Amino acid sequence: MRLRVRFSKTGKIRFIGHRDVARVTERAVRRVGLPVAYSEGFSPRMKMSFGLALPTGYESDGEFVELPLIADAVVEGSALGGCDRGVSGPVIVCQTDTHRSCELEPASAVPSYCTVAEALSEALPVGMEVSAAVLTDGRGPSLQAATRSCGWQFDIVGLDPAAAEKAVAEFLAAGTVVTERVHKGETVSSNVRPSVEVLQVVGCSDRGAVLSAVLSATPRVVRPSELVPALAPAHEMGIARRTHQWTCGAAGRAEPAVPAMCAQKHKELISG
């Protein structure tokens, strides 16, 4: 079994890289006491697998990590609601009485995986918040391989909404939009138009027009920074936030884990 965790990365912590995110996640998991499997050998490491790596400087409401759990793990205790019963499930070690069980669960119920999300959120640094923690059977491709597209929200500095609407209309009407990116030290040109599934203006921040997009992750990940030069060559991108990572199955597009009702919050447009 695997515990699939959805978390956000917003604010100043967006400037730490993917490897640092892995390190702080590992420390948080150890602090909470989840029974996660480790590799074997002279220097064992905690096993974990992330979704698509988020570029440094980008925010996100939809980051994912999967943690393989040790079989037959048992809850050793919890300060949540004074529960100290031994039951099957992840170990929860709460150091304070600040946690509360999900209001959607009856008071007599065993602490749910929503509670795991609360415990992990407390253990993580400011700017990283867990919104969902669900069990999976661990079968199928990795999260990276399964992700087919990503939702994004970004603003363009100094561009007013009216000009953004015109630029978006021209972009969507074009059959080919060639942009440049640096890959392994070389400048590579490519047509990004087929990778843009949705592009629209959704508002305005204190920096400029805010756009929403759905961009393909296959055969390669397309980022908002590649669209800005084509939309507004004289402007720069402000803050970009990944809102979703979507997989595609028999039932159509889906998210690896949806935030619990008690964890959902009103999300404002990206701002400083």
Q: Report d(CA 242, CA 223) in Å as an integer.
A: 10
Supply φ then ψ for residue 113, to 5 degrees: -70, -15
Domain architecture of the chain: domains with CATH: 2-139 (3.30.70), 145-254 (3.30.2350.10)
pLDDT of residue 100: 44
Torsion sign across C-alpha atoms 80, 111, 143, 226? negative
Closest residue by Cα to residue 152 from 220, 68, 244: 244
Residues sharing a CB contact under 8 Å with residue 156, sequence separation 6 or more, in sequence order: 164, 207, 208, 209, 211, 228, 231, 232, 235, 236, 237, 238
CB count, 10 Å around CB of 24?
A: 15
Residue 86, SS3? coil
Q: Report d(CA 25, CA 22) in Å as an integer.
A: 5
Give the β-pairing of 178-183 and 59-68.
Answer: unpaired
Query: DSSP letters of 101-133?
Result: --TTS-TTSPP-HHHHHHHHHHHSPTTEEEEEE
Give the pTM. Answer: 0.80
Contact 239, 155 (CB under 8 A): yes
DSSP letter (8 states) at residue 82 = G
pLDDT of residue 71: 66
pLDDT of residue 97: 40
pLDDT of residue 271: 56
For the CA atoms of 64, 79, 109, 263, the dihedral, rounded to the nearest 10 degrees, stands at: -40
Q: Report d(CA 101, CA 114) in Å as an integer.
A: 8
Q: Report d(CA 221, CA 216) in Å as an integer.
A: 6
pLDDT of residue 269: 58
pLDDT of residue 272: 53
In this predicted model, what pLDDT tens digit does every residue of 53-90 receive, in sequence order?
999 999 999 999 999 988 655 333 332 233 333 333 44
pLDDT of residue 259: 80
Given a cut of 70, the residues of the chain with pLDDT beneath it are: 71-114, 250, 260-272
pLDDT of residue 261: 52
Q: Report d(CA 169, CA 163) in Å as an integer.
A: 10
Contact 113, 2 (CB under 8 A): no
Within 13 Å, how many C-alpha atoms sit on residue 59's CB side? 19
Token pair recorded at residue 153: 């929200």
